[in-house]
Structure 1
Amino acid sequence: MDQQAHPTKTTLPGIGIRYDLVTLGGKHVSVVVRNDGRRYLGFHDPEDDDACTNTVPLDPGEAAALANLLIPEQLDPVRNEIEIDLVTEHIPITAKSPYGGRTLGDTQARSRTGASIVAVLRRTGATPSPTPDFRFATGDTLVVVGTREGVDAVADLIAGG
Structure 2
Amino acid sequence: MDVEEVLLPGVGLRYEFTTADGRRIGVVARRGGGFEFVSYPGHDPDEVHPLFRLTTEEAEAVTEILGAPRIAERFADLTREVPGLEAGQVEVTARSAFDGRTLGETRARTRTGASIVAIVRGEDVIASPGPGQPLRAGDILVVIGTRQGITGVESILAG
Deviations 1:111-141 (A, max 9, x none): 0011011100001400010000000011100
Confirm or deny that 1:105 pairs with 2:104. yes
Q: Which residue of 1 aligns with 2:128?
A: 129
Determine if the alignment matches structure 1 residue 159 to structure 2 residue 152: no
1:86 match: 85
Matches for 1:46-57 after TM superposition, within 5 Å: none
Number of aligned residue pairs:
93
The answer on 1:28 being equivalent to 2:21 is: yes
Question: Would the alpha carbon gap of residues 125 and 108 (structure 1) be closer, same or farther in structure 2, given more than 3 Å must change?
Answer: same
- The structure with the largest alpha-carbon Rg is 1
Q: Deviations over 1:63-117 (max 9, x none)?
A: xxxxxxxxxxxxx9xx5xxx62111111101111111100011000000011011
Could you tell me which amino acid in structure 2 is paired with residue 159 of structure 1?
Answer: A
By how many angstroms is 1:25 displaced?
A: 1.2
Instruction: Indicate the RMSD between aligned Cα atoms, in angstroms.
Output: 2.8
On the 8 A contact 2:114/2:144 being kept in 1, the answer is: yes
For the structure 1 residues 115 and 124, does the alpha-carbon distance in structure 2 shift closer, same or farther, using more than 3 Å as the test? same
Which residue type is aligned with residue 90 of structure 2?
A: I
Matches of 2:158 and 2:87, distance apart in 1 = 17
Change (3 A) 1:147 1:124: same
SS of alignment partner, residue 112 of structure 1:
helix
Once residues 103 and 146 of structure 1 are traced to their aligned partners in structure 2, the CA distance between those partners, rounded to angstroms, is 20
Letter in 1 for 2:21: H
Alpha-carbon contact 2:103-2:133 (below 8 Å) kept: yes
Secondary structure, aligned partner of 1:130: coil
Percent identical among aligned pairs is 42
Q: In structure 2, do the counterparts of structure 1 residues 123 and 106 end up closer, same or farther at CA, with 3 Å as the change threshold?
A: same
Residues 1:24 and 1:109: Cα distance change in structure 2 (over 3 Å): same
| Cα distance change on mapping 1:28 and 1:132 into 2, 3 Å | same
Shift, 1:28, TM fit: 2.2
Question: Unpaired runs of 5+ in structure 1?
Answer: 4-22, 30-45, 48-75
Query: Post-superposition, which runs of at least 4 consecutive aligned residues in structure 1 deviate over 6 A?
Result: none
Q: Which structure carries more helix by proportion? A: 2
Cα displacement (A) at 1:24:
3.1
1:93 alignment partner AA: V
